Structure 1
Amino acid sequence: MKFPHLFSPLQIGPYRLKHRVAMAPLTRMRAAKPSLAPRPLNAEYYGQRATPGGLIIAEASPVAATGFGNPGVPGIYTQAQIEGWRGVVDAVHAKGGFIFLQLWHVGRVSHSSFQPNGALPVAPSAVPISSEYKTRTADGEPTSYETPRALETDEIPGILAAFRQAARNAHAAGFDGVEIHGANGYLLEQFLQSRTNLRTDRYGGSIENRARLLIEATEAAIEVWGASRVGVRLSPYGVANDSGEPDPMPLYSHVVKSLDKLGLAYLHLIEPRSSGAGRADVNWQNVPSAMVLFRPLWSGVLIAGGGFTGETAEAAIADKHADAIAFGRIFISNPDLPRRLREGFPITPYNRATFYGGEEAGYTDYPEYDELAPA
């Protein structure tokens, strides 16, 4: 099957994409330790998946030492991390690709063992993740989530400063732009949603107040990059990390309309059918489509992600529900995914057991189509 819409050009900010197959941000937990800086293996991985005029959104990277909840994820707040990311960026640029960095703070989706001086994770309010969910300590021991510490109002400027500095650091590393991670139950979404934000200051209560931190973090990145090189990712119907708004439409309609006024490079929406944030294959039935619901409220470029095939991606773009499609798991196992889709080549299945941590296996050892042994 041919995909004329998926393989047509697209303007994102100042960048002219040659196709609309984007690589989604994917946590892989393979940064150097203890520096948490990207290393040559990471540069090889991203370079394998870069294409001329293609967009890669690099994996979520904590903006501060308090923003971690997993081992081995790369940060973007030290000079060593900047240098490590520069190697990744150079590998992508050498292939003619574009690369944005996703800026991240996990908030309550952490454990004191990851935090400086063993402090409790921070959150908008002291609302723990349900006991149904389990995590691991920094040493890998299974444990329950702790009750986080609510941020004081006078601490929030520090969170915004961390996003602003991370945006500067991404610029210093040579990225083409940044994406604000407002999805999957992490800190900015914790502020958005009523079940995790019980605050009574200007960052809580009304929808406008709950959306304030996301908007201000986005504006902080804009101060560094200009709006045309900043994107935002949202998961309106997501359930990852014990997230979820009882009635998402009022909240996310306000958020999308507010972001639309900023003139961003793009809005990146996760479809509800892929709301597990990599931990499980989620396939909801009878759920709405985020791109269909919010497209009428968004005047700029819209990237949709979550369980797409070549056929469904082509249909989404042809029907004008989205402008580009972010592929995640099948981009892991198919480093040449754009070509495979364009030529109709078979898709190599992914191995979930090798998603997180490790070395080359399940990371840089997936062959391109031409390298596959004959059946």
Structure 2
Amino acid sequence: MRRVIIIIIGIFSFMMPFTYVYAKTSNFNNVLYGTIIILLVAVFLVIKSFIKLKAQSDEIRNFDILRKTYIDAHNSLIYLKDENLKYVFVNKAVMDFFNKNLEDIIGKDVFAFAESDYAAMSNEIDLEVLKSKTLIINENKWKDRVLKSTKFPVELINGSYGVGAYIEDITEKKEQRDRIEYLSFHDSLTCLYNRMFFEEELKRIDTERNLPISIIVGDMNGLKLTNDIFGHDAGDQLLKKAAAVLKSVCRADDIIARVGGDEFSILLPRTNEEEAKNIINRIKEQFSNERVEAIQGSISMGSDTKYNINDDITLLSNNADKKMYFAKTLDRDNNKNTAIKTIIDTLHR
């Protein structure tokens, strides 16, 4: 309101000399009335403009409050740094993250109040944004958390560039993502790879530097009998024991997968036929020492080896499968009789 009064006085002061001169040469009353009318119009226009400006100012102020409230309510870290990488603006999440007040952050660089490891990590990305003038998105592990940062160049009022940032804690999202990815490639019961992953690895490993490549196919004996007599929990225990034996015998680089209910496949890069057969013998021997209820561990296996890069690796898998079923046929009567005898002996104790 003070501005309005000052403006009115200014208009009146400006007009008085002209009014005085004109009054000397004209009718005084006419001049006075005219002056008053002009003053009233001027006052009206000034007040109208002031009301409009005030409304616009209030609107801007309300928008600024709303913007700040929204940004402060966000859990992600949001900030702006100047060309010297000193903080110009931060939201509440930044203050909470560093456990600092606003005055401890604004006008300072990250090294002034943050842990040195984090400061170095953050500063390196900020410098890259300033240098490249491009958006940079990455994920960094900080202590037990995973932070996804989106950093981008911002042109400042002085024409130089600063860095804007949006940093989100994605720890839970990443854990969920990793879990989904793990389940998409693993068998949930045995924690071995599944058929989909095994088939993808067949294509990846089928290179000359991995020759000779061997494949072992195995089919567990007595799983249905175990499920029927002792229940599926016992069958699951037998599958887990089989998986543990496979992992203990095979090497770290070998790909072991559960490809069916009681079927397993092993992909062996740089492994010749004799080495594959030795692995089979060790697996069969170790698994025979395992028992669930009255069922002794038993598995029929077959293998085949590829020496020529031009050979079809899918045929290798098929040949190993045929050899396994041939072995299973030969062992069927013996395995069945052994299992039945063991079960009867157990039940009559």
Under TM normalisation by the shorter chain, which class is it? under 0.3
The structure with more radius of gyration: 2
Question: How high is the TM-score relative to the length of structure 2?
Answer: 0.21
Q: Which has the higher helix share?
A: 2
Greater relative contact order, per chain length (Cα 8 Å cut-off, separation 6+): 1
Question: How high is the TM-score relative to the length of structure 1?
Answer: 0.20
